[in-house]
Amino acid sequence: MSAGDAVKVVEVGPRDGLQNEPYAIATEIKLELIHRLSKTGLKVIEATSFVRAPAIPQLADAEAVMSGLKRKPGVCYPVLVPNEQGYQRARSVGADEIAVFTAASEAFNRKNINCSIDESLARFAPVMALARRDAVRVRGYVSCTLGCPYQGEVPIADVVRVAEALLDEGCDEISLGDTIGVGTPASARRMLRSVAESIPMEQLAIHFHDTYGQALANIYACLEAGVRVVDSSVGGLGGCPYARGATGNVATEDLVYMLDGLGMATGIDLQKLAETGEWITSQLDRPRSRAGQAWLKRTPTGNVHET
Ligand code: MG
């Protein structure tokens, strides 16, 4: 790991963050959030999800969001799709990059998408075939890589098996998620290294939650192990509708502040990002991220004003 290394930050706030909000959010707010994020220098902004509306009511306006996007050249706006029908819906409104998802935990899959791991992998097959035909890039999410709310421990061998299966099906990138945020640096790095034995590190991403305040430490440990793609959510928005007690994703502001300090290149303007975090958390009446709050209150010498 050295200064100057480029890190790709995948912003998941508009999808993974907002899907867990308890109150309906206007489509205009979502579009404004994506628009503001696109001006921070972020190159990947996961925009919405084409799961069935009853499953995730908060994202029932997926078509309207995709149709209303002011696309910025050079920025990708991937969307989550659960199956072939979701794929067709996404494509009909111009989605050109998608993400599929499963869990490394059998119990979580049963509760979350009502099928086994193998059934969920089989379900993707037609989606993957269509994506290949259409030259659509596919990201695969593996959730519960460091623990599961239903079965507890998740064997690393299961994480490796699921990640390999997603790669075999044609995923271009695999995002390894600590969905409930129970990992610590050693377990996170061990899991990543095990997966990287059979999948090139360039195709791996990490997706960590901050439930126990470990997300940044876990990310740092994984950066040392060589990963260069990191998921995060502006304002630390998010949780998991199926994993009670799981708190937000690591905040993009906190992540970018750390990467800046390490001299790693993200291309993201922390000032604009912090302002965007301030705006969306006030819209949703949620607490701001720590780095975002501190950054906006700092003095010219870098100190933070007492409040
Ligand atoms: Mg998440």
* String of DSSP letters for 263-307: T-B----HHHHHHHHHHHHHHHT-PPPHHHHHHHHB-TTSPBPP-
Q: What is the CATH number of the domain that holds 173?
A: 3.20.20.70
Largest CA-CA distance found in the chain, in angstroms, rounded: 57
Please check whether residue 2 lies inside any domain of the structure: no
Please check whether residue 265 lies inside any domain of the structure: yes
Please check whether residue 81 lies inside any domain of the structure: yes
Asked whether the predicted pLDDT for residue 305 surpasses 70, the reply is: no
Please check whether residue 306 lies inside any domain of the structure: no
Query: Cα of 99 to ligand 1 centre, how many Å?
Result: 13
This prediction has a pTM of 0.95
Query: Cα of 68 to ligand 1 centre, how many Å?
Result: 24
Separation of first and last alpha carbons in the chain: 36
Query: Cα of 306 to ligand 1 centre, how many Å?
Result: 32
Q: Which two tokens stand for residue 137?
A: 């890039």
Residue that is written with structure tokens 């908060």 in the block:
58
Please check whether residue 148 lies inside any domain of the structure: yes
How far CA 205 is from CA of 2, 9, 141, 196, in Å, comes to 18, 9, 9, 11
Asked whether the predicted pLDDT for residue 247 surpasses 60, the reply is: yes
Query: Cα of 198 to ligand 1 centre, how many Å?
Result: 24
Residue 279, domain extent: 8-298
- In tens, the pLDDT along 61-70 reads 999 999 999 9
Angle at 243 between CA 238 and CA 246, to 5 degrees: 50
Question: Which distant-in-sequence residues (6+ apart) come within 8 Å of 126 by Cβ?
Answer: 83, 84
Query: Cα of 170 to ligand 1 centre, how many Å?
Result: 22
Radius of gyration from C-alpha coordinates of the chain? 18
Q: 242: which DSSP letter?
A: T
Q: What's the structural domain count of the chain?
A: 1
From 148, 171, 222, 240, the catalytic residue: 240
Tell me the residue length of the chain: 307
pLDDT confidence tier of residue 243, bands split at 50, 70 and 90? low
State the Cα–Cα distance between residues 256 and 235, nearest whole angstrom: 12
> What's the pLDDT score for residue 117?
93
CA-closest candidate to residue 276, choices 41, 60, 24, 88: 41
Asked whether the predicted pLDDT for residue 291 surpasses 70, the reply is: yes
Please check whether residue 51 lies inside any domain of the structure: yes
State the Cα–Cα distance between residues 278 and 253, nearest whole angstrom: 10
- In tens, the pLDDT along 21-73 reads 888 899 999 999 999 999 999 999 999 999 887 778 888 899 999 999 999 99
State the Cα–Cα distance between residues 41 and 47, nearest whole angstrom: 16
Please check whether residue 176 lies inside any domain of the structure: yes
> What's the pLDDT score for residue 75?
98
Instruction: Based on the residue annotation, tell me whether 76 is a catalytic residue of this protein.
Output: no
State the Cα–Cα distance between residues 259 and 250, nearest whole angstrom: 13
